[in-house]
Structures are given as structure tokens and as C-alpha cells.
Amino acid sequence: MFTSMAPLPLLLFFLLSLLASSSSAAYNVSYDTRSLIIDGQRKLLISAAIHYPRSVPAMWPGLVQLAKEGGVDVIETYVFWNGHELSPNNYYFGGRYDLVKFCKIVQQAGMYLILRIGPFVAAEWNFGGVPVWLHYVPGTVFRTDNEPFKYYMKKFTTLIVSMMKKEKLFASQGGPIILAQVENEYGFYESAYGEGGKRYTMWAANMAVSQNTGVPWIMCQQFDPPDTVIDTCNSFYCDHFKPISPNKPKLWTENWPGWFKTFGASDPHRPPEDVAFSVARFFHKGGSLQNYYMYHGGTNFGRTSGGPFITTSYDYDAPIDEYGLARCPKWGHLKELHRSIKLCEHALLNGKPISLSLGPSQEADFYEDSSGACAAFISNMDEKNDKMVVFRNTSYFLPAWSVSILPDCKNVVFNTAKVGSQTSVVEMVPTDLQPSTTALNKDLNGLQWNVFKEKAGIWAAADLTKNSLVDHINTTKDTTDYLWYTTSFLVDGTEEFLKNSTSPMLVVESKGHAMHVFINQKLQGSGSGNGTVSPFKFRCPISLKAGKNEIALLSMTVGLQNAGAFYEWVGAGPTSVRILGMRNGTVDLSTSRWTYKIGLQGEHLKIYDTNGLNSVSWVSTAEPPKHQPLTWYKAVVDSPPGKDPVGLDMIHMGKGLAWLNGNEIGRYWPRKASKHEKCVQKCDYRGKFMPNKCNTGCGEPTQRWYHVPRSWFKPSGNTLVIFEEKGGDPTKILLSTRKVSSVCAHISEDHPSFDFEHLQESAVGDYRKKASISLKCPAGTRISGVKFASFGDPAGTCGSYAVGECHDPNSVSMVEKVCLNQNDCKLEITKENFNMKLCPSLVKRLAVEVACS
């Protein structure tokens, strides 16, 4: 194709690629008390966290583009040290860890980048991002004035900075990086480290600044920062935040638009009205840069999740969901918010702020500059009551807990509590595992499984033998989740329990995180910590025989601690093992002779990987054994049809690990949240948000589906490998596809609507339009049916709308006329379209749900 190019296009091609690769001009990033100043211009910036290893390179351009489309100017990411420095001096920057490629994608999208190097990051990431090996470098204490820690931290920071410099990625070199972060929320923990903590803060700031990046450094939640760095806020709300020094701008590095999940707990959601409220309040009160943590949360592939118990999904209820789809209405509502804030940019950044009280918990801030430009934010912080307020001689209706934005100090273009953008209904559509159509499987009917059983206990030469229980993490050094603790125990033939049907009781106390107990190769029971509390005490009746009994405990970690003072010293594994109900009472096995084996045989031989696949003898069968512990399953499958994102449905499995074509999908564990947790049917957005305010999924598995990126699939011949610890039914595993099945919109006839394309701060009123709804199905699909439409007083929410007492009977046919068979459509509330005379005393509303296919 290249050689067949005609000379002229070829030249053009070279010129264009030269242009694309040549870096743009250097620009200056500075700041004052009001904002960052980029090349002499004050900036009001919307930033979005997307962590590169939490998706795959094939998804990066789409994610960045979707953020840009959502009105985002800046992409923010941490740098994940333990993903890059696998052992001292052994670096990895390939695949999901190709940081330079990620930065360049952001650059090509014409966006800025905030690089939070840390290199301690927390982030619900294994060990907070610090390599586990560093804990075992003698004399190391993390995050304090400690020589080995500082040596390795500086070395890694310098490496990252040099790498960015070499690729000309800093603004001072024409690149996208406008800010860099050192450390992460150290202010919360500094005092735990005494004087050493204070010295470390100074050292970290100085070390960072001496890197000469040409861009400012930030430290988030740092309460005694030196003047050379900017301290920033992390919280659900940062309107009241003030940087320590008056010459620093008010920046918000982490606004959490949702929250993370832990295996066995319910699913947190933050309502879009409250996220928008917090953002609007921040800019209302003089903020100038706000970052969503996370904008796309993504997936903790493999064993990267922190812990204990952070799920493999890091969806975070973020504006872009784990699978890369816009989460609507959150994404769309925030997009409208961003547009509205941007209309105020000039007045906000250059005007003089004036604050007014409009009532007991109602206030206005307006910003007017010498040219007459004026922008105002008016808010009602009352958690229950809607209010009418008067601002500059005009009355405004403010729903409870909401902010209205007036880019001309007159017209409301946006209210945080009025969601007009579309809602989408997303489904996981089940598809059975399809036997591969490649030669291998061609002659066989149905899916063939290959099965390999792990031995319970020591499967090869022991790694260690001791007359005590050792710490799990100190022994595995996190090279695997698994550590076998085995011992044997003699039962006298005259023991009573052998004759009657009683069972002795095994009692294990463990620092965490989870454990399966095997006696004489048979699973007796499992125990684990709960929530984020890793220690547990576990009792289970056991069956013993006369003579020698083998006890094998499979101890497991489920993600290492990722934050807290001295977090690296938190251990795991059993501390006491006793058997109750023997003739002589309790037998304490804690100081018996214990033999240890690190990891599983299948892991050791890498039987999930192309190279290791054949290093064990798999048993081939169409009917794999069900509910068997310690079992490896392998199947060769076709990719599910279509292009929709894919999730592995593991609801019928127990707990374990999964891989596709050698790529680590991650830990699965469809552990259920207690049905006694607090869950809500409908979330009341009003009032302060806390992570447990609007949970769903009580009594259901925290995580049923596990994201398998499309780019990991070949059309055919994909090797799926599962390691099941305690027992499940592999024949019920599905590869479901994630689809937007319908979209809804619901607005009232007085919804603020403007022609945003042409809107200017000065003449907002001229661009007022009739209220309208816009509906859009995913690319490649069409509006195939109108499931519901009612102009009047419809009730319910998307998916369950119902006609009210006031209803225009032509609503459905009107929507059909405008929308059917289109990818998107727009419908104004006008007398041409609807019967406006209906129920004259009511402010009418239009609710629509259409199917996409």
C-alpha cells in the first residue's frame, strides 16, 4: 500500500506526519491567587482522571475523546510505580503501562495533562503503587525521612521526569503536561511520622522542584507545604477550601463522582445532581481547576487492586463507565454544566467577586469586569426546601440543594438539580461461550473443556518449614495471592467423636484476608474478613479420621493495603490454629511443625499463558466437573459477535482468577452484599453525600461481570482459563455484551434551553429556545421503537414511566414521526408538536423512552 502511493501524496503524507510528530511551541504555565496562567492567559479548567493501566491502549483514544466531548480540557493520571519497576532497575513501559503513548494520545486530542507522579498514589491500587520489593530492602520505612525510601523514590521520579522530558511532554517543551504532583494526601499522615514526616514533606517538595520540569508542582491535602508547591483539595466538596498561601490558586484535584466497591459490600452511587452541585459551588466560590476522580475508573486487571477486598471493577460510578460507555445522565448533565461554566470564564477570572446573601442558606456570587461582562452563580443550600430568591430585582426559583448559573447575571442557563440530558438503560446481554470455529475444535460438537486439578497442600518441594505460623505477605512477597500452610495431626482411634456423629471444631484466627481449609484433601470451609477489615476469626466443624490427618490451609490475600500511616507493615495470614472438642480439650496447632508452599502449581507453571499452557496434562471433557475446589478450567472460544464491550459473567462460580489469551482479567468473587445493608430504591440527591448514602445491590453479588477488553479477543481460537478455588459451575460462565438498550429523556416545559453553539456571555437572552429533548442511540444503532412518550404529567423514571392524569394522546405518534429509524433526534416542546393548551394550570413535562437496536 505504501509503495503504491503516487509521489505527490507520498510527499504530503510525509509532511503531514512530520507536522503531527513535531512538537508544538513551548508555553509557560504560572499562576496567581485566581488561577493557572497559561501563556499569559488565566484558565478555568475541567479535568478528568483516566488511569492508563485501568484500561487498554485500544481504549485510550476513545476514552480521551469522550472526555473531550464531555467538555473536559485536561486529563489527569497517577503514575503507577509498581507497574513500571517490577524489581529494582527492571522497568516495564509496554502494553497498559505505555505511559508515553497515553500522554501522546492526550496531546493529539489537543488536551492538557496533569501527571500525578506520587510515586505513592493510594488509588485503591495494590500497595498504594509502591513496589512490594521496596518493603524488603533492609532498613526501609515508606514515606518518611528514610534514606532507602528517599533514594528509590527520587530515582523513580527522576526516571519519569526524564522520560517525559525526552519526549517533550512538558508544557515548557510544547507538551501537554501543565502540572505535576509529588506525594499524595500526605498531610493526613505526616504527624504519625513525627519530625521525620515534616522533614520528608520538605524533602519531597524540594526533590520535585529540583527536577526542573518548567511546570508547577502540586501536593494534594498537604497542610504545611513549602511555598514552592501548590496545595490542593480532595473531597466530595471543596467550595470552602483555601490554599495555605494567599498567592496560590484554589485547585481541586479529587472530586469523587462516585466511590469504589469492595467484595461483599453494596454498590455506591453519587447522584449527578449532587456532583454538578459540588462543581458549581466550587467555581461559585472562586475555584479555577477541578478534576473528577475518576472520570473513567476502569478495571483493576490481574492482581492490581488494592485492598483488602477492592473489587476488580473500578467503575466508580464515574461519568464514563468501566466498559468505556458514557454513563447517562451523569456524563451529559456534567457536559451541560461544563458548557455553562465556560460561558462564565471571562467574567469569573477577570471580574471582581461580590458575594450576596439571598436568604438563610441562599447566596449569590457575581463577577463583573470593567468591560461590563457579568456572570453569577446563585445557590440554595437548603437540604429540603425549594426557594424563590430575588437577585438584581429578578425572582428566581431554586430547587433545594442546587446552583443556578447565569452567564450574563440575568438568564439561568443551567440548574444543577434539573437534569435534562438523556438517561441510558444499559444491559449485559448474555451470550453462551461459543466453541472456537478454528481447526482445533472443528470436529467436536459443543464446547470442550480441559480440566486440571491442583493438589490441596504441598505440590512440590516445600519452600519453608517452621514450628510456627509465618506472616503470609512476608513469605509470598506478593508474588501470588496464595500461600499453603500445612501440618499433620494424629487422632487416637479411641476418640469419642469417631463413634458418635459429632465433629471437632477448627478455629482459625487470621490477620486476613481469606482462607480455605482442607483436611485430607477435602474442603471443609472458608473464612474471610469483611468490608475493609481484614482480620477474621473462623470456626468450622471438621471431619477427622483415626490416625494421621493432613491439614492444609490455603491462605489468600485479596489486594494489599493501599493507604494509611505505616501501611506497608500490615500483615496477613493465620496467627492461631486450634481444634476444639477433642478428648483432652483444645489442641493448639499454632506451634506445630508447619510446611509452606508459595503459590499454586498452575500459577508456577503459568498454565494460563501461551507458553505454559501445555506444561500440565489437562483432562479433556465436554462435561467438566462442577462444584470442585482447586480446579483449573480451560476452553477455546470464539469472540462474542459484534463490537460491544464484553463482561465475563461469573455468578455461578466461587472465587478465583481468570485469563483470556494469557491476559489477566483479574480476581473474581461474586461475593454477596448483606441484604441488611442500607440500600435505596431512589436516591435523594439533596444534602451532603457520603459513600454509603445511595447504595444499591443489597443481597446481590458486588461484582458479577468482569471486563474482558475487546482488543484481547481474536475472532476465533481464544483461550479462556479459570482457576476456581472453592467450587463453581463452569458450564454456566457467559461472555455477556454490554448494550445500551434504550434511552430516555424527561424535561419540563420551563427547562432552561439555549442555543449553546452560538451563545455568548453578553447576549445570553437572545439565544433562549423552546425546551427540547435530544435522544441519541449508540453509534451504529437506530431508534427502533418508542417505548413510552407522554406530554402532560407522566410519573416514574426511565424504564418505568407511566402516563399521569394529564396526557397528550398524540405524544407517541409525534415522537415516532420525528425519531423512528434515526440514530438521534431532537424534539421541541412547541404548539406545533404538542397540545400546549392541555391542563393549563400545570407546568407540563415530556417523558420519552425509545429503544435502540
Catalytic residues: 185, 254
Judged by CB under 6 A, which of 123, 280, 343, 653 binds ligand GAL?
A: 123
How many C-beta atoms surround the C-beta of residue 367 within 10 A?
22
For ligand GAL, which stretch binds (CB under 6 A), given 119-127, 355-363, 545-553, 784-792? 119-127
**Region near ligand GAL per CB under 6 A, out of 115-123, 516-524, 774-782, 795-803:** 115-123
Among 43-51, 121-129, 520-528, 816-824, the segment contacting ligand GAL (CB under 6 A): 121-129
Q: Count CB-CB contacts under 10 A for residue 791.
A: 26
List the grid coordinates of 382: 437548603
Please choose, out of 118-126, 207-215, 607-615, 681-689, the segment that lies near ligand GAL by the rule CB under 6 A.
118-126
Which residue, 331, 431, 277, 299, is CA-closest to 743? 331
Part of the chain binding ligand GAL (CB under 6 A), chosen from 50-58, 117-125, 210-218, 723-731: 117-125
Question: Which of 320, 378 has the CB closer to ligand GAL?
Answer: 320
User: Near ligand GAL by CB under 6 A, which window of 122-130, 154-162, 367-375, 570-578?
Assistant: 122-130
Buried-exposed string 479-499: b where 16+ CB fall within 10 A, e elsewhere? ebbbbbbbbbbebeeeeebee
With contact defined as beta carbons under 8 Å apart, do 558 and 530 qualify?
A: no
- Residue 187 C-beta: closest distance to ligand GAL, Å: 11
Which residue lies nearer to ligand GAL by CB, 297 or 624? Answer: 297
Sign of the Cα torsion 244, 246, 247, 252 reads positive
Burial 636-650 (b: 16+ CB within 10 A, else e): bbbbbeeebbbbbbb
Q: Give the residue with the Cβ less far from ligand GAL, 243 or 359.
A: 243
State which residue, 123 or 413, has the beta carbon closest to ligand GAL.
Answer: 123
Buried b (16+ CB within 10 A) or exposed e, 182-197: bbbbbbebbeebeebb
CB 122 within 8 A of CB 185: yes
Residue number, 250 or 845, with CB nearest to ligand GAL: 250
CB of residue 292 vs ligand GAL: minimum separation in angstroms?
A: 11
Q: Does residue 679 contact residue 698 with C-beta atoms inside 8 Å?
A: yes
Nearer Cβ to ligand GAL (292/754): 292
For residues 555 and 515, the answer to whether their CB atoms sit within 8 Å is yes
Q: State the DSSP string of 192-258.
A: GGHHHHHHHHHHHHHHHHTT--SS-EEEET-SS--TTEEEEEEES--TT---SSTTS--EEEEE-SS
Cβ-proximal residue to ligand GAL, closest one: 122
- Site residues (CB under 6 A) for ligand GAL, limited to 206-245: 234
Choosing from 122, 341, 554, 657, the residue that interacts with ligand GAL (CB under 6 A) is 122
Would you tell me how many other CB atoms lie within 10 Å of the CB of residue 49?
29
Q: Which contiguous run of DSSP H or E holds residue 50?
A: strand 45-50
- Please, which of residues 159-198 interact with ligand GAL by CB under 6 A? 184-185
Strands 414-415 and 402-406: antiparallel
Are the beta carbons of 256 and 293 closer than 8 angstroms?
yes
d(CA 542, CA 707): 37
Cα torsion through 385, 391, 394, 397, rounded to 10: -20
Cα 604 to Cα 247: distance, rounded to the nearest angstrom? 56
Number of residues interacting with ligand GAL: please give it, by CB under 6 A.
9
Residues from 274 through 333 that contact ligand GAL (CB under 6 A): none
Amino acid at 332: G
Nearer CB in complex with ligand GAL: 317/725: 317
Q: Distances from the Cα of 824 to the Cαs of 63, 530, 846, in angstroms? A: 21, 46, 17
Q: By the 8 A CB rule, do 127 and 568 touch? A: yes
Between 295 and 801, name the residue whose CB sits nearer to ligand GAL. 295
Nearer Cβ to ligand GAL, position 60 or 292?
292
Beta strands in 669-801 (DSSP E): 705-708, 718-724, 734-748, 772-776, 783-792
For residue 128, the minimal CB distance to ligand GAL (Å) is 8
Q: Is 260 in the site for ligand GAL (CB under 6 A)?
A: yes
Q: How far apart are CA 653 and CA 720, in angstroms?
A: 14
The correct pick among 73, 254, 638, 849 for binding ligand GAL (CB under 6 A) is 254
Rounded least distance, CB 328 to ligand GAL, Å = 23
Between 296 and 686, CB nearer to ligand GAL: 296
x/- map, 446-485, ligand GAL, by CB under 6 A: ----------------------------------------
Please report how close the Cβ of residue 317 comes to ligand GAL at its closest, in angstroms: 11
Q: What is the DSSP string of 518-584?
A: EETTEEEEEEE-BTTB--EEEEEE----SEEEEEEEEEE-SS-B-SSTTGGG---SEEEEEEEEETT
Helix residue spans in 645-688 (DSSP H):
none
Binding ligand GAL (rule: CB under 6 A), the pick from 124, 183, 239, 724 is: 124
Least distance in angstroms from the C-beta of 234 to ligand GAL: 5
Q: Which of 74, 113, 114, 121 binds ligand GAL (CB under 6 A)?
A: 121
Residue 258 or 527: the one with the smaller Cβ distance to ligand GAL is 258
Task: Give the CA angle between residues 560, 698, 650 to the nearest 5°.
Answer: 60
How far apart are alpha carbons 301 and 296 in whole angstroms?
Answer: 15
Binding mask 773-812 for ligand GAL (x = CB under 6 A): ----------------------------------------
Least Å from the CB of residue 465 to ligand GAL: 39
| Residue 528 near residue 584 (C-beta atoms within 8 A) | no
Q: How far apart are CA 360 and CA 641, in angstroms?
A: 58
In the complex, minimum distance from the CB of residue 303 to ligand GAL, in angstroms, rounded to a whole number: 18
Cβ neighbours for 848, distance < 8 A, ≥ 6 positions apart: 744, 745, 746, 773, 775, 786, 788, 789, 811, 815, 827
Least distance between ligand GAL and beta carbon 815 (Å): 40
Instruction: Indicate the helix (H) or strand (E) that contains 509.
Output: strand 505-510
Write down the least CB distance from residue 293 to ligand GAL, Å.
6
The CA-CA-CA angle for residues 105, 80, 482, to 5°, reads 130
The least CB distance from residue 254 to ligand GAL, in Å, is 6
Identify which of residues 157 and 561 has a Cβ nearer to ligand GAL in the complex: 561
What is residue 170's three-state secondary structure?
strand
Closer Cβ to ligand GAL, 224 or 684, answer by number: 224
**Cβ contacts of residue 470 below 8 Å, gap of 6+?**
464, 573, 594, 596
Which residues make up the interface to ligand GAL (CB under 6 A)? 121-124, 184-185, 234, 254, 260
